[in-house]
Amino acid sequence: MNSPAVSNTPMQSREIEPGLLVYECPVSGGLWIPLSAYLTWKEQQPESTIPSSSNEGAPASAEESKPRALICPESGRLLLRYRVGHGLNFHIDRSPATGGVWLDKGEWEALKSKGLHTSLHLICTAGYQREIRTNEYSQTLTETFRDRIGPADFAKVTEFAAWLNQHPKARDICCYLLDNLEQKPES
């Protein structure tokens, strides 16, 4: 079986976890994880859940993957790319035909550091990818308003919003504020 990353380079089998046999590219260090091998290994692992989607304090693990077209070593079809998220700024490549996954060098270790290695099969689901997009949108929205309002005032607004969200009369307060704000031209 040849490497998807380095043309005409045969991969070598390697056990990356007890009971998980994968194929490693000797040139790039990337790993091909066949779906059947992964699922068999996964059945032996304790039940796990996908960790919280917070990206705060996440270590930089791998650089953003460069766009490229990789070919499945098992089926010869193009691999599809999926964002990992959860503080990991890279993609995994999955075969639509076989379900096998290609990871670049260091990505397995990065997935393990976030507890995602036992949820690898879920990263490619529509729900997971939707959550990643939603979290990225929320983070962008927060950064945009922090920049527009300024850090000190944004902290005050955030504190007020937290108080308002817990208040039983939040809707009434919002109506009052909207009706009583003077319309000022934007500066």
3-class SS letters over 130-175: HHHHHHHHHHHHHHHHHHHHCHHHHHHHHHHHHHHHHCCCHHHHHH
| Residues 73-80, mean pLDDT to the nearest whole number | 95
Contacts of residue 124, defined as CB under 8 A and 6 or more positions apart, other chains included, come to: 80, 82, 92, 94
Predicted pLDDT at 96: 94
91 and 84 in contact (C-beta within 8 Å)? yes
Distances (CA, A) of 107 to 49, 55, 77: 19, 17, 22
Q: Which residue has the tokens 């490693």?
A: 24
71 φ/ψ sector (left φ>0, alpha ψ -120 to 50, else beta)? beta
Read off the pLDDT of residues 103-130 as tens digits, 9 standing for 90 and up: 999 999 999 999 999 989 899 999 999 9
Reduce the DSSP state of residue 100 to 3 states and report it.
coil
| pTM (predicted TM-score) | 0.72
Mean pLDDT taken over the chain: 88
| Residues 8-16, mean pLDDT to the nearest whole number | 96
pLDDT band at 47 (very low <50, low <70, confident <90, very high): confident
81 DSSP β-pair partners: 93
Helix 170-180, helix 151-166: angle, nearest 10: 130
1 and 11 in contact (C-beta within 8 Å)? yes
88 DSSP β-pair partners: 85
